Amino acid sequence: MSEEIRVEFVSGPDADPAEIDALTRALRAEILEVDEVDRVEQASAGPAPEGSKGLDVAAIGALVVGVAPGVQAVTKVIEVVRSWLANRSPSTPPLQMSIGDKSITVVASKKQQDALVAAFVAALATGDAGEAGKPAE
């Protein structure tokens, strides 16, 4: 059985859906290269609106990643996401990664990323990542 990681762009209402879709597809391709990844699928935004023929609405900018259980597989996916984001334009929206009720927002600032990821991974290992992905105030 695999764990699921939700990876989603954190973008405002003025974001270009076509640009977010292109970024999502590029990120998906990178994540698929990780050996511990079982699958990477477009996330669901829920059932289609009443009266439409679709069964499910895809969430633009969101992926569900199935990985082998364990912190090591999650860490590899986080590193791929960090590296991918670091190679993008500074205007690329941050990415939020969630595993169950635990989440972390990965941003372009390498220094901030390093501190947040280290705290998040350490908290995952101890089972207390609820607050680890939040920036210090």
pLDDT digits (tens, 9 = 90+) for 46-66: 665 676 655 454 678 999 999
Check: pTM over 0.75? Answer yes or no.
no
Q: How far apart are the first and last CA of the chain?
A: 37
Going by their DSSP bridges, the two strands 3-9 and 37-46 should be labelled as: unpaired
Q: Which residues of the chain have pLDDT under 70?
A: 1, 46-49, 51-58, 108-113, 128-137
Q: Where are the domains of the chain?
A: 3-45+57-126
For domain 3-45+57-126, give the fold. Alpha-Beta Plaits (3.30.70)
**What are the C-alpha distances in Å from 33 to residues 52, 80, 117?**
35, 9, 21
Place of tokens 């912190």: 71
